[in-house]
Amino acid sequence: MNMTDALVVYYSRTGWTKKVAKEIAHRLAAETEEIADTAQRGGITGWLRSGREAVRKATTTLEPPKRDPDVYDLVVIGTPVWTKTVSTPVRTYLQQHADRLAKVAFFCTCGGGEPAHTFTDMQELCGQPPKKTLCLKTRNVRRDDYEAPVESFVSALLEESDLDMD
């Protein structure tokens, strides 16, 4: 796959979603874009604020992205699950760039349970269904026990896509 074919965009408050994003990008030979939120989300106060915002489906102020999603055939979007839905920074990114996404795939990391509304919300925000989805439990990422699901996700994207292979 050519580097310009795919972009992995993600937000990660604790580093677990970033870890998965980097692995997906490596396997796709894709570029990455970390969503840079201007809000402080560290510690317990940031955790509480983030959950409250997610419930309210609030948006935030993001720093301008370094990469234009419009030039990629596929944009893989990753989010942590906050109160069973998409994180505020990813919600904001999707609202701002929905009309510039050719094809999308989604992945998320979550602490427990199923991310009931995460992928549904992401689909509604970007106005199209994802080519594939992947949900990983944080405990599996922490233990480095996520290679097989990531490989399956990436393989399915490559098989289904019309992205050029090198």
Percent of the chain with pLDDT over 90: 85
Question: Phi/psi class of residue 47: alpha, beta or left (left: φ > 0; alpha: ψ in -120 to 50)?
Answer: alpha
Domain boundaries, the chain: 6-160
Q: Could you give the CA distance from residue 160 to residue 69 in angstroms, rounded to a whole number?
A: 20
Name the fold adopted by 6-160.
Rossmann fold (3.40.50)
- CB-CB contact of 93 with 61 (8 Å): no
Residue 144 has pLDDT above 70, yes or no: yes
Question: Phi/psi class of residue 15: alpha, beta or left (left: φ > 0; alpha: ψ in -120 to 50)?
Answer: left
- Structure tokens, 135: 């949900």
CA torsion sign, 106 to 111 to 116 to 117?
Answer: negative
Ranges of H-type helices in 7-137: 16-28, 43-56, 88-97, 118-126
pLDDT in tens, 86-128: 999 999 999 999 999 999 999 999 987 677 789 999 999 999 9
Arithmetic mean of pLDDT, 10-28: 96
Tell me how far CA of residue 66 lies from CA of 83, 110, 134, in angstroms. 29, 27, 25
pTM: predicted TM-score of the whole model, two decimal places: 0.91
- CB-CB contact of 102 with 131 (8 Å): no
Ranges of H-type helices in 57-117: 88-97
- Structure tokens, 8: 């992995």
